[in-house]
Amino acid sequence: MKNRIAYWGYILALIGGVLIVVFGFLGLIGNSLGSAFSPVGYYVSGAIYSIVAIIIGIICVIEAKSVGTLVWAIVLLVLGIISGGLGGALVIIGAIIGLVSILVKS
């Protein structure tokens, strides 16, 4: 990370991605906590939502380190909006902090 602001965005996006994965696995088990607060949860059934949430969470965890680049900050912002819930909110906040760090750098 090049600066502290991007580092805090990385930490928030990483924690949010881990929470999305955990809530996705809980949804597969049968305890659907995340789908009630997600825009995708209204349109997709429980097991499919859980698999989509796990995939989104894994992408967020892997690409959280790139929150200081413009493209990945926007991608993480969109993924956070799609996933919803507490993890999605943390990913959104981390992506916004990443965007702020990009604007402060330039």
pLDDT for the residue 1: 46
Predicted confidence (pLDDT) per residue in 50-65, tens digit: 888 899 999 999 999 9
pLDDT for the residue 58: 96
Distance, CA of 101 to CA of 106 (rounded, Å): 9
Distance, CA of 35 to CA of 63 (rounded, Å): 23
| Reported pTM | 0.84
Burial of 25 (0-12, 13-18, 19+ CB in 10 A): middle
pLDDT for the residue 7: 92
Listing DSSP states for 51-88 in one string gives: HHHHHHHHHHHHHGGGTTSHHHHHHHHHHHHHH-HHHH
Contact 91, 60 (CB under 8 A): yes
Q: Provide the residue-wise pLDDT of the chain in tens; the chain has 106 residues.
A: 458 888 999 999 999 999 999 988 888 887 555 555 566 655 666 678 888 889 999 999 999 999 989 999 999 999 999 988 899 999 999 999 999 998 887 6
Residues in the chain: 106
